[in-house]
Amino acid sequence: MPFYAVACVAFGSIDPIFRDAVPRWNPLTWDFSEAKVIFTSLTTGPLQGVAIRTVAYVVCAMLLCFLIGFPVAYFLARHSGKRKLMYLVLIILPFWVNYLMRMLAWVNLLSPSGLFSRFMSIFGVHYNWLDGSPITVILGLVYGYIPFLILPLYATLERLDWRLIDAARDLGANSRQTFRLVTVPMSKAGLVAAGVLIALPMFGDYYTNDLLSRSPNTEMLGNQIDFFLNASTQPQRGALLVLALSIFLLTFMSFYLRSTRQNVRQTTR
Amino acid sequence: MQRRDFLRNIVIASGGITLGGALLAACGGASTSTTVDGLAIGTPEKPIKLPVTTDAIADGLANETGTLEILNWADYLNPESIAIFEKQFGIKVTTSIYDDEAAAIAKLRNGTFKPDLIFGMSATGLAKLIAADILQPLNKSYIPNFGNVIAGLRNPYYDLDSQYTVPYMIYGNGIGYRTDRIDKNAFTSGNGYDLLWDSQYKGKLGVLDAPRDTLAMAMFRAGNFDANTSDPAIIKKAGDDLISLREATNPKVDILAYTELPAGNRDINFTWSGDLFTALQYLPEGVSPSVLGFWYPPKTITTNDFFCITKTAKAPVLAHQLINFLSDTDNALLNREYVGYQPALETITVDLLISSGTIPESLIDALVTPERYDAALSQVTLDPAVDALWLDQWTAFTAG
């Protein structure tokens, strides 16, 4: 129903006096003129760059999340021993604080006079993190979403049959081969679930960019959706971008569902 | 959303807000106004006398007892001022907060908000409020301090004869800067706007996240002073110029000049004059207020917001009294200390503000004088098709 409501706004009209979106609930009356404008903008116009940038940022952030999160989850599942609970709490603890507050804290830390910037300057790193840099936005995304990758991954890895890994080693596989041929395939379901879990909100994220950059050079689709829906006279365009993003993300979801179905089949065989 | 978020949004929302033509025609208002998309609006060239569908309250009524309910932006009225008013009239003031003008009007229309008095609405919002028949006309016999209002605002184009509104705060568009990093003369020795295109301020520069304001600024730089132009070539050029600004300086597009300039994170920022007064509260300890400066362009947008009273007000007399209270010079000065923005009163002169010690001399140029208001350029409602042209250029700029 909410998706249908978004479509009714996207293909609806604008109140001539109050400039509110007027949804058209009857699909037979839908107006597709604005959809053409947005489609053109996404394919050949200014929004094309935003879409490409959004994909690039999310892919970079996801890769970093996997690079950092997988070893952490692996350590938690295999080597944390009696301190497992403590490590888990330490990972989760910062996330008891609201996302906005944590990002605002980073704004203070990363400002030229902030603690982090001053600390880095000890090592000769003089970098203005808040000057609208893509690196800051990507790192912000990583920081914001990495626990949502670590926790499901940890849950998957903890349930692995470690005897298979030991068997691989006994049969002559080195560490790298064991990881590539045994650990990764066995944790595939967790990797896909964790990837989907962080990719979906990252694609729609706008406040990370809002707080850490606010430069047009780092504008993401979420920022354009926020602008059109909340601060423009064309809320339909925001709804259309939501639809476009949703259709794009359905590919992720279909991959995830297919992967889940395959795992269920393998388990029940 | 704070007050400055509203300022960002009103200039966006102004693209297409119109009055009900039939309603205006029935009341004879359409003849003095211009029309957009078949409906009538007021402009500086063709001011509008708003339709009156109900009588103002009678003269000489006693003040109500109990509670006065106001609807306001967050932090847009000094709590100390409220306390004094409550004590003086022996009543209680309760406040509802709104963070978006359009959303607030929607809630006024559906009855979610039922205030007596509304603060901080814009001319655009007024058009909607009238169209929705939410306001009652004012009885100025309860507002003797109306005479303190800046002369040019006593009969504004959006509400001839001030039937429904009394101005509250006033502000203009210009450039805030750090005086310890930029010489004041740099603005006057050439085209002051060019500093925003200077790559030496890359990473240290901001512009307003307000499409109409910032695109108009690019137009003014190019010598086009029609802030409501429908000329596609001029609008396109403004968009192209902003893209060149983006490429030269990687600007921040936000409404945070009031924190970023005093913190030293920016050298220069296209912003609203009122932000510089608010910025004083964000100066780090030990930093002199004189580090803040403002260039008020000779021809720029200057505007105001206002008070208005709802038709369903349960305490209309008290609502008039609070307008009168805040239009008193001393009370307005006290309120300004907290709000930051400049009251739209003629009695609050530059000399008075400087001598009261609340504004440093370096910010004299951020004050809206009656002369500046008289020379002001105004933004009015755009035809939806023209509005779309502006929006397209803004998207091209912000899409990066």
Rounded Cα gap, residues A73 and A68, in angstroms = 9
For chain A, say whether B334 makes contact (Cβ under 8 Å).
Answer: no
Q: What are chain B's domains?
A: 3-170+302-374 (3.40.190.10), 172-301+379-392 (3.40.190.10)
For chain A, say whether B357 makes contact (Cβ under 8 Å).
Answer: no
At B18 the pLDDT is: 33
Q: Could you list the beta-strand ranges (E) of chain A.
A: 13-14, 21-22
Residue-wise pLDDT tens digits, B49-65: 999 989 999 999 999 99
User: Which residues of chain A lie closer than 8 angstroms to B19, CB-CB?
Assistant: 17
Kindly determine whether residue B253 and residue A227, on different chains, have CB atoms separated by under 8 Å: no
Rounded Cα gap, residues B47 and B51, in angstroms = 13
Kindly determine whether residue B399 and residue A20, on different chains, have CB atoms separated by under 8 Å: no
Of A237-251, B14-28, B276-290, which gets the smallest average pLDDT? B14-28
Residue B38 pLDDT > 70, yes or no?
A: no
Q: Which residue of A has its CA nearest to B382?
A: A233
Residue B250 pLDDT > 70, yes or no?
A: yes
The pair phi, psi for residue B38, each rounded to 5°, is 85, 0
- Please, is A90 exposed, middle or buried when counting C-beta atoms within 10 Å of its C-beta (0-12, 13-18, 19+)? exposed
Report whether A215 contacts B250 (CB < 8 A): yes
Residue-wise pLDDT tens digits, B355-374: 887 788 889 999 998 788 88
Rounded Cα gap, residues A87 and A76, in angstroms = 7
Rounded Cα gap, residues B152 and B374, in angstroms = 7
At B388 the pLDDT is: 87
Which of A33, A48, A215 best probes binding to B when mutated, by most B CB atoms within 10 angstroms? Answer: A215
Q: What is the nearest CA distance from A233 to chain B, expressed in angstroms?
A: 6
- Interface residues from chain A to B (CB-CB < 8 Å): 14, 16-20, 41, 45-47, 49-50, 53, 111-113, 128, 130-132, 210, 213-219, 223-224, 227, 230-234
Measured over the CA atoms of residue B149, residue B59, residue B95 and residue A211, the dihedral's sign is: negative
DSSP 8-class letter at B58: P
Of A18-22, A173-177, B130-134, which gets the smallest average pLDDT? A18-22
DSSP, collapsed to helix, strand or coil, labels residue B208 as strand
At B3 the pLDDT is: 55
The residue with greater pLDDT, A180 or B232, is B232
Cα radius of gyration (chain B): 21
Beta bridge partners of B121: B306
The structure tokens 């016999």 sit at B141
Q: What is the nearest CA distance from A263 to chain B, expressed in angstroms?
A: 41
Domain segments of chain A: what residues? 32-268
At A268 the pLDDT is: 65
State mean pLDDT over A130-149. Answer: 92
Question: Which residue blocks in A205-234 are alpha helix, DSSP H?
Answer: 207-212, 221-231
At A255 the pLDDT is: 77
Q: How much of chain A, in percent, has pLDDT values that exceed 90? A: 48
State mean pLDDT over B302-329. Answer: 96
Residue B243 pLDDT > 50, yes or no?
A: yes
For chain A, say whether B360 makes contact (Cβ under 8 Å).
Answer: no
Q: Which is nearest to B347 in space by CA: B339, B89, B356?
A: B356
Kindly determine whether residue B9 and residue A130, on different chains, have CB atoms separated by under 8 Å: no
User: Which residues of chain B lie closer than 8 angstroms to A223, CB-CB?
Assistant: 398
Nearest to B397 among A18, A19, A216 (CB): A216
DSSP 8-class letter at B74: B
Q: What is the nearest CA distance from A89 to chain B, expressed in angstroms?
A: 34
- Mean pLDDT score of chain B: 88
At B31 the pLDDT is: 37
Nearest to B400 among A131, A217, A231 (CB): A217
Residue-wise pLDDT tens digits, A171-226: 988 988 998 898 888 888 889 889 988 999 999 999 999 999 999 999 999 999 99
For chain A, say whether B205 makes contact (Cβ under 8 Å).
Answer: no
What's this model's pTM, rounded to 2 decimal places?
0.82
At B22 the pLDDT is: 33
State mean pLDDT over B13-30. Answer: 35
CATH topology (fold) of A32-268: MetI-like fold (1.10.3720)
Q: Which residue of A has its CA nearest to B18?
A: A17
- Please, is B144 exposed, middle or buried when counting C-beta atoms within 10 Å of its C-beta (0-12, 13-18, 19+)? exposed
Cα radius of gyration (chain A): 22
